[in-house]
Structure 1
């Protein structure tokens, strides 16, 4: 499951199709849609440890041209099983952008990236720092 960050916005020419694809990826339905559920120009999901937000915006509202190739910064989402999540993304129709790469000197940081069916880049990562922050938060949580 994707975990981390606060809000990320992606563009799609077909918001309904993107909503369906991301519903399968995240295992939840979008909780918000405007102007309507039937004809959305924007949908939003909340998920993960910190209820991160992922918004899908109709590409006609983009300030820049949204092309047919990969676009955007690679935002790396922490996952516990990098190989398994990469395969799941590919099985859902994403295409490989960057295979699994070891980052650093065997420090446990590994990344991979795919392109969703709508041209957005999705990075996934094993991130020991993320896990340490989560463990610290849980250890300091009131009983």
Structure 2
């Protein structure tokens, strides 16, 4: 069955702009790029404690058309300070999708829509921290 997160793919019409935005958000440069027709078609970052893959894919290669509104599955990335992370994403041009909300003791989620129409979730998750301690 499911053994772990391998790659989260986000889609953008302007891959170069999305890469610049995510490099600013993540504080790292991408480690991999594949071009098509001289322009970046797929760019990948390594993110976080487990170096998960975050890929930016040219919208031309999306397996299904973009519905025009952000929605669907939300992938949450652990952050240590949910309010600061949410505020920073907004200051970088994202729009609020779901404001910070406590889901139970030690679990707070929030999400934004990035400038390219993708939902990006952030979460303070005590289980994540407990897993790191083990």
Same fold (TM over 0.5): yes
What is aligned with 2:107? 109
Q: Is contact 1:5–1:77 with CA below 8 Å preserved after alignment? A: no
Q: Give the greater-gyration-radius structure (CA).
A: 1
| Cα offset, 1:39, TM superposition | 1.4
Which deviations, in whole Å up to 9, do the C-alpha atoms of 1:42-64 show, x marking residues without a partner? 00000211111100111011121
Higher strand share: 2
Distance 1:67 1:58 in 2: 16
RMSD: 1.6
Q: How many corresponding residue pairs?
A: 130
Q: Structure 1 unaligned runs (5+)?
A: 137-143
Distance 1:114 1:103 in 2: 17
Give matches, 1:44-83, under 5 Å: 44-83=44-83
Distance 1:5 1:111 in 2: 19
What is aligned with 2:90? 90
Q: TM-score, normalised by structure 2?
A: 0.91
Distance 1:81 1:5 in 2: 22
Give matches, 1:9-20, under 5 Å: 9-20=9-20
4+ runs of 1 displaced by more than 3 Å? none
Q: Structure 2 unaligned runs (5+)?
A: none
| Cα offset, 1:22, TM superposition | 0.3
